[in-house]
Structure 1
Amino acid sequence: MEILEIRTLRGPNYWSGYWKKLIIMRLDIGDYEDKPTNKIKGFYERLIDVMPSLITHGCSYGEEGGFLKRVEEGTWAGHAIEHIALELQTLAGMETGYGRTRETGEKGIYNVVYSYLEEEVGRFAGRTAVRLWLDLAEGRSIEEIRVGIANDIQEMREVREDVRFGPSTGSLVDEAIHRDIPYIRLNDQSLVQLGYGVYQKRIQATTTVNTNMISVDIAGNKHATKKLLGDMGVPVPRGFRIRDIEELEDTLDSVGFPVVIKPLDGNHGNGATVGIKTLEDAKIAWEKAKEYSRYIIVEKQLIGEDFRALVVNNRLIAVAERVPAHVVGDGKNSIQKLIDKTNEDPRRGYGHENVLTQIDIDNQTLRCIRKAGYELESVLKKGERLDLKTTANISTGGTAIDRTDEVHPENVFLFERIAKIIGLDVAGVDVIAPNVSEPLSENGGGIIEVNAAPGFRMHLSPSEGIGRNVAEHVIDMLFPPGTPSRIPIISITGTNGKTTTTRLIAHILKNSGRTVGFTTTDGTYIGNQQITAGDNTGPVSAQLVLKDPTVDVAVLETARGGIIRSGLGFDNCDIGVVMNVAADHLGLKDVNTLEDLARVKSVVPRSVSKKGYAVLNAEDPLVYKMKELVDGKVVCFSMDENNPTIKRRAERGRVSCVYENGYITILKGKWKVRIEKATNVPLTYGGRAEFMIQ
């Protein structure tokens, strides 16, 4: 058995009208072509043994256990590998449900097609599924297979955490999708473009194109932040910035215990230690903070709970109380057992896969336990709470309680004023106070930090209280109601005439004053300037145009190769043109017949938006048949005004374009408009080049 090729589809494609993110694995199953599952001794029982969750796959039976019934009756390797690849992703926390396995016309070679959420994980799942099949078929021990699956699933989770959007960026992208705002991921981190062309807005995590760089620098310098706020009458704790450990003892004497020690320019709680009451603990905290910054902040610890206030576009959106990772004693179980039981909470997962994160027993946890006079084997008294981290970050196992509806109006004013003082469009204001229901000026609370790029997770899915859709307020700020996010996209496909048609449309639009980005077989152009040379008819070139901030209309030649290789480079288009389907390039990439080729070309009209138009050749039956796949309106063209299809459409009041008595003419019912005499169009060489008229 051999994987011949793995392709990744990222847009509308040949295989599905709905699923855009697909893996295509071209698989040679070798001798297993003659050995379906019911002819491999013990395969069915071994598969159930190592992956019992496959019982949820209905397959062609459409009911629980359907796929396993197919295995018992006998199915081929490619089909089983498809289901295993899907289930591996589900077990790793990425449930996705589309799969197809199809013959290629070559004996023993199949296209195994399945959906994915994260591309790297999807490809990994395919390779792992093939190996698992071989392990099962060739008699590897069940225990070894189980261990291998567990290791593979953990690796998939780790890869997912490395490549997926974090919960904050993910919430913004999800909100954009909900509003039909397209997005393009610009790197493998959290830099994202929302919208196309001139209407695009960029975000990086929760910083936006509107975020002021000076404000980010101020927020990143905790000493500068505290001084600026203090000078403006905002309550902040007393503290100092120091560089050398020799200054530490005198600073502690001046500030007084308990203190907080943190790096000057840290974030997300990295390097911060709270509740320090001795010089020895202060020195340990110093070393920890030094890993993140040359300068260290030593400040008086305020007494109270830890709150985060989120301000977007100068409005308070949400407030959460953050609680450090902790356990509560029951008088029976050890601290280790209490942590294990806490991690069994179904809301907790690996990394960002769930509402809460599992508590990791690291050096910080061990220090917290020993500082309280305990060991992991110790048993806490019933009701006794033990904090396991020095900060209350959700990412280290902390929890959150929504307090938005409890905030005193004076505090609302204060938090919004702080965001304005620092100058952040999206600000996370960190507060220590007994509560937020009383003015901070009365209960002794204060502001300890202001954060650029604040995390949203605690507000989106608090462990207690109401989840707040904070992402909608950021998208409202970037795209106020009525603000466009899409530029017109015209996609042209077919066997012949694509490049000329693309250039002609681009020329007309440029003369109307538009900045046109267009792609052809000889290059990509912005306006009159060639940006790249070569065959640029695939999704990469399309996205180059859509990412350009000067382009206000895109005209994209779309060839079969790019569609087969990666799908379209856009989610939908406003106009999709299909010129014709002819017998060129047959026999490549499993496109063997005209019908196969037509199916490839049909991806373009199938991607036309509901308000858009598919422009189809009424003289080509394979092209005209594509009308059945179109959600938008259909316009047809023909060189023959008496074409039966055109006549039927005219009788029904449908729009068509024909060549009539030497004129390019628009028809609708009895209505007829002559646009231009063909001989007056230079491209037709005085009307002699009929193929140019077409």
Structure 2
Amino acid sequence: MQIESVRMLPGRHRAGDCTTLELVLSCAPQTAAALRPLAATLGAWAASRLAGTLHAEPAFDAAVELEQSAENPLEDLARCHAGLALWLQRAGGHEARWYAITGAEDEHGIRYCLEYDHHEVAASACALALGLIAGFLRARGVEPGDYRAAGAPASEPLPQAVAAFAELARARALPLDTTVLIDIARERDIPWMKGDRPPFESLGTQRIRRNGALRLGYGNRQHVLDGTLCLDRAGPSQRRLLEELDAVYRLLAELGAPLPERAACSSPLRARRSARALGYPVAVRPQSRRVQPARQRVDSDAGLEEALRSLRDLERGFFIERDPAGTLHHLVVANNRLAAVLAEGRPLDIQTVHPELLSVIARLCDRLALGVFVLEVVARDIAAAPAAGGSCVVDLWLAPELDRLIADRALHREVLEAYMRWLFPPGQDGRIPVVAITGTNGKTTTTRMIDAVLRAAAHRTGMACTDGVFIAGQTVNSGDSAGSVFHYQVLQDLRISHAVLETARGAVADFGFAWDACDVAVCTNVTAEHLGQFGIETVEDMARLKQCVLHRARRGVVLNADDAHARMMSVGLRAPALCWSSTTQPVAQLAQAHRDAGAAGKEASFVVVEAVEGLDWIILYTANGATRTPVMAVDAIPATFSGRAAHNLSNALQAIAATHLLGAPIEAARQALGAFGTSYENTPGRLNVVRESPFTAIIDYAHNPDCYRALVAFIDRWPVAGRKILMVGCPGRSSRQAVRDIAALVAGHFDRFISRDSRELVGYTEGELPALVRDELIAHGVVPESVSVVPDQGEAIAHALALAEPGDLVVLCTTASMKENARQQILACRPGQDATGQRQAAQPLH
């Protein structure tokens, strides 16, 4: 009985809307079958093994889990294991309740998912749950054999395993303050992310509340909390109050708060003199608020000496203050109002507080501008004037641990609800407009176009795409960033007002979503690429995966009506608006398709191409097709090459559709797309035409049949005086059918071919892939002398360029990692040099 593999899904994902572990459990069927008749007593047996270490109510009941089982022994075992692991997490202070059986691996294995709060705690709970089941079976006379969780050491005795789990769980548990804030955020539909959990790093060593980091909202509408302190609202003066006691005294004195007499000290001798002068009892208070204990009451010289010995850092100084007589009261202020009064933990009516103290609170609210704080007051009578009732303010806490202060859980929640109203007043939910772009081809260019339009509309954007992460058009980091980790990076940036997120299928399948919902989702197309990974075996599976992105759209969805699979995605969407785009179909046909798809209840808009006075124009139809708005001529968009690059025209239509659904003005689309070209700087590796050499060169990331189809269609419409030379390559995971399709598409359209290899080969030996391309080209009528096999990509680029003569067109289909290499080699062939860098007579540019 073993857990063969554990995979962490730290984002929302296909199977559920929570952080999840995906497990594969293997077991002999006879061992699994022995569990069902014994399962009724598993919970009580497990609880007895946790007694004194962990406590969970209600007790785990395996019979409840098995009620849903199809009497498959392996499913019985998986349900018991998942239920027990969740129960253990809750016993350790980690909220986790969801699990799902996702399918059988084989007759000995089963795959399932379960929720986690902290991945290390959950993995430990899974290992412990397996040990508990094994111990339970062994105690009932059933030998479970060896049991072990993937990556875990050999099983240890249960008492030690329970103790180790309990210690780990306690160290990683969220504070109750944070848990309640998450519950409130969830109820108010405010996006939240735990700041002390992957993929986030800890906020640093100088923390206010361990495990209490929380991000609420996105972009420039978010707040970052450490415990109950709003970090983005706390300036230097507020932070000083967290660090230095004398800063607190100065502020309270300035605001007229009644304070006890005190003396600043730096030595035991001075402390003793001050204590005697003030009169015992006194309180010893370290200057640094990070030193514990924060306040010690002493009533003699001997007590004073003992208290000073407990302070490790006397050099920073400390205070001796008169210890006033009376009851300690905590005045809890939230959202600029007194929210609770506690007398030694007992709630009092807030109306009992004397107006003079309320005036101090009001002045503190104005000065601090923080959503929650606690004023500590010692008073014989909190309702009396400070002079008469002996009230003294003894402390001020800007990041109070409310869960340790307020025992009444209803009152505790009321205070945090008031704090949340301060963070996000009614009507605010911390969300910024988010656009998610998925599909097989065209995602990156469409993403960049949408970003350009939004920036032209004066929005400050954060964009993550295959090329990197960009804030307001400036590069933050380069490299493939079309996944959830980089989406988190964008969404947590406090500067941005809009997020534009290319959403790759691998990241969705392997990691999940960084966001719970988007405003607009775009699907460019779906093709048979990347099959055989993450359980995606067919194009229909791939379409369902990409449709997960669309299901999270709340405002509108853009579908490419020219793609058969995208057309089928209109069913079951929750977004109220749907915008169809097409480069070939008339609006009437799209309107009929909208009705036929059962989407008549959704507001429809359409972006199409129509002839206007002999020119192709992009037209936007809104209000279910009733309103027609000419957007711009196709010729006005440089990236379309006057319509010859049909795939970029399709990308532009979808960008116009998406930004329309977001409410961007049409003029912003005209301005942005009118300046949107395919230079290397703007769309690196995507139809980059380089004319700075004696011949024309194109760098493109064509890598599947649809990409090559679009590229060939473009090249066929490109005027070329000389020869057409193609460096062709296929990804290392390409199916043999895809290789055959690519060869068939390019054969007959070029004069010379250079076939290169791929680095990451799956199912091919080195050199096999370019040889297969050569053979397929020859099979489609290309003469053998026109095909060269140059496996190394850098050398293949150099070979293609060396063949080029003035007037030729060289098309380099590179991998993403080699596009810069290709560009540099092309630039080395400037007038006066050949491809090898040797001097030659200058030639005119074409």
TM-score bracket, normalised by the shorter chain, equals 0.7 to 0.9
What are the Cα deviations for residues 631-680 of structure 1, in whole angstroms up to 9, with x where unaligned? 11233334433365246469776333344554444442455444344344
Per-residue CA shift, 1:420-474, capped at 9, x if unaligned?
56786643211111131222221112111222212222665438x9556223343
Aligned twin of 1:536: 481
Equivalent in the alignment of 1:38: 33
Q: TM-score, with normalisation over the residues of structure 1?
A: 0.77
Indicate the residue corresponding to 1:370 in structure 2: none
Correspondence 1:166 to 2:175: yes
Give deviations 1:338-376, integer Å, cap 9, x for gaps: xxxxxxxxxxxxxxxxxxxxxxxxxxxxxxxxxxxxxxx
Distance 1:593 1:47, change over 3 A: farther
For 1:10, give the aligned amino acid. P
Whole-Å separation in 2 of the counterparts to 1:291 and 1:42: 63
Question: Please, which of 605, 623, 641 is the counterpart of residue 685 of structure 1?
Answer: 641
What is the Cα deviation at residue 524 of structure 1? 1.6
Alignment-derived partner of residue 573 in structure 1: 518
CA displacement at 1:160 relative to structure 2: 4.0
Q: Which amino acid aligns with 1:23?
A: L
509-518 vs 209-218, which deviates more? Answer: 209-218
> 2:257 aligns to what?
234
SS at match of 2:311: helix
RMSD (Å), alpha carbons: 3.6
Residue 10 (structure 2) aligns with:
10
Instruction: Give the letter for the 1:97 counterpart.
Output: R
Maintained 8 Å contact 1:311/1:416 = no
Alpha carbons 1:515, 1:550 under 8 Å: kept: yes
Deviation at 1:493, TM superposition (A): 0.7
| Structure 2 gap ranges (5+) | 48-58, 148-154, 203-210, 651-846
The 5 A counterparts of 1:40-59 are 44=39, 47-48=42-43, 50-51=45-46, 53-55=59-61, 58-59=64-65
Q: Which residue does 2:67 correspond to in 1?
A: 61
584-593 or 258-267: bigger deviation: 258-267
The residue identity in structure 1 corresponding to 2:442 is G
Query: 1:311 touches 1:426 (CA, 8 Å); kept in 2?
Result: yes
* Distance in 1 of aligned mates of 2:480 and 2:636: 31
Rounded to whole Å, the distance in 1 between the matches of 2:373 and 2:500 is 40
Residues 230-270 of structure 1, C-alpha deviation per residue, up to 9 Å, x if partnerless? Answer: 46653222222222223343233212122222322236973
Shift of the alpha carbon at 1:572?
A: 0.8
Question: Closer, same or farther in 2 for the Cα pair 1:269/1:318, shift >3 Å?
Answer: farther
| Structure 1 portions without partners, runs of 5+ | 323-398
Q: Is the 8 A contact 2:258 2:391 kept in 1?
A: yes
Whole-Å Cα distance in 1 between the matches of residues 137 and 336 of structure 2? Answer: 62
State yes or no: 1:410 paired with 2:356.
yes
Structure 2 CA distance for aligned equivalents of residues 519 and 425 of structure 1: 33
AA paired with 2:394?
I
Contact 1:218 1:422 in 2 (8 A): no
Count of matched residue pairs: 602
In structure 2, the residue matched to 1:637 is: 581
Alignment of 1:164-563 (within 5 A): 164-184=173-193, 185=195, 187-188=201-202, 189-208=211-230, 209-218=232-241, 220-226=243-249, 229-230=252-253, 233-266=256-289, 270-274=293-297, 276-290=298-312, 294-312=316-334, 314-322=336-344, 399-418=345-364, 426-457=372-403, 461-462=407-408, 466-467=411-412, 469-482=414-427, 485-563=430-508
- State whether structure 2 residue 632 is matched by structure 1 residue 626: no
Q: Say which SS state the counterpart of residue 60 (structure 2) adopts.
A: helix
Contact preservation (8 Å) 1:460, 1:467: yes
**Structure 2: distance between partners of 1:571 and 1:277:** 57
> How many angstroms does 1:621 deviate by?
5.3
Distance 1:613 1:663 in 2: 24
Shift of 1:402: 4.1
Q: Does 1:600 align with 2:545?
A: yes
Query: What whole-Å deviation, never above 9, does each CA across 1:139-189 have from its counterpart, x for those lacking one?
Result: 6999xx999666555544543443344233444444444333323425434
CA contact (8 A) 1:39 1:74 kept: no
SS at match of 1:234: coil
Q: CA deviation at 1:576?
A: 0.8
Separation of aligned partners in 1, 2:346 and 2:162: 29
CA contact (8 A) 2:62 2:83 kept: no
Give me the whole-angstrom Cα distance separating, in 1, the residues matched to 2:14 and 2:508. 7
CA contact (8 A) 2:438 2:502 kept: yes
Q: How far apart, CA to CA, are the structure 1 residues paired with 2:246 and 2:569?
A: 65
Question: Structure 1 residues 414, 548: closer, same or farther in 2, change over 3 A?
Answer: closer
Shift of 1:604: 0.7
Distance 1:94 1:197, change over 3 A: closer
Question: Which residue pairs with 2:760 in the alignment?
Answer: none
Shift of 1:191: 3.8
Q: Distance in 2 between matches of 1:453 and 1:49?
A: 41
Q: CA deviation at 1:490?
A: 0.6
- Structure 1: how far apart are the matches of 2:40 and 2:222? 54
Q: Classify 1:601/1:33 alpha carbon distance in 2 versus 1 (closer, same or farther; 3 Å).
A: farther
1:102 matched residue in structure 2: 102
Q: Secondary structure at the match of 1:469?
A: helix
Secondary structure in structure 2 of the residue aligned to 1:655: strand
Structure 1 CA distance, aligned partners of 2:382 and 2:404?
17
The answer to whether the Cα contact below 8 Å between 1:591 and 1:597 also exists between their aligned partners in 2 is yes
Work out the CA distance in 2 between the residues paired with 1:417 and 1:494: 56
CA contact (8 A) 1:657 1:665 kept: yes
SS of structure 1 residue aligned to 2:248 = helix
Structure-2 change in CA distance of 1:559 and 1:228 (3 Å): closer
On the 8 A contact 1:459/1:470 being kept in 2, the answer is no
What secondary structure does 2:449 align onto? helix
Q: Does 1:654 find its partner at 2:601?
A: no
SS class of match (1:657): strand
Q: Distance in 1 between matches of 2:549 and 2:484?
A: 12
Q: Does 1:82 align with 2:88?
A: no
From the CA coordinates, give the structure whose radius of gyration is larger: 2
- Between the aligned partners of 1:580 and 1:422, the Cα distance in structure 2 is 53
Q: Distance in 1 between matches of 2:639 and 2:249?
A: 69
**More off after superposition, 88-97 vs 286-295:** 286-295
CA distance in 2, matches of 1:425, 1:671: 47
Q: What SS does the aligned partner of 1:58 have? A: helix
Shift of 1:507: 2.1
Distance 1:56 1:477, change over 3 A: same
The alpha-carbon distance between structure 1 residues 419 and 520, as it changes in their structure 2 partners (threshold 3 A), is closer
TM-score by length of 2: 0.64
Output the CA distance in 1 between the equivalents of 2:96 and 2:330: 34
Call closer, same or farther: CA 1:120–1:291 in 2, change over 3 Å.
farther
Distance of aligned partners of 1:529 and 1:48 in 2 relative to their CA distance in 1, 3 Å threshold: closer
8 Å contact kept, 2:484–2:513 = yes
Q: Is the 8 A contact 1:522 1:534 kept in 2?
A: yes
Q: Distance in 1 between matches of 2:476 and 2:368?
A: 40
Give the Cα–Cα distance (whole angstroms) in 2 for the partners of residues 131 and 446 of structure 1: 56
Q: Identity, % of aligned pairs?
A: 25
TM-superposed CA distance for 1:536, in Å, is 0.7
1:129-168 matched pairs, under 5 angstroms: 129-137=129-137, 152=161, 155-168=164-177
**C-alpha distance 223-101 of structure 1, shift in aligned 2 (>3 A):** same
**Counterparts of 2:518 and 2:413 in 1: how far apart (Å)?**
33
Q: Is the 8 A contact 1:520 1:535 kept in 2?
A: yes
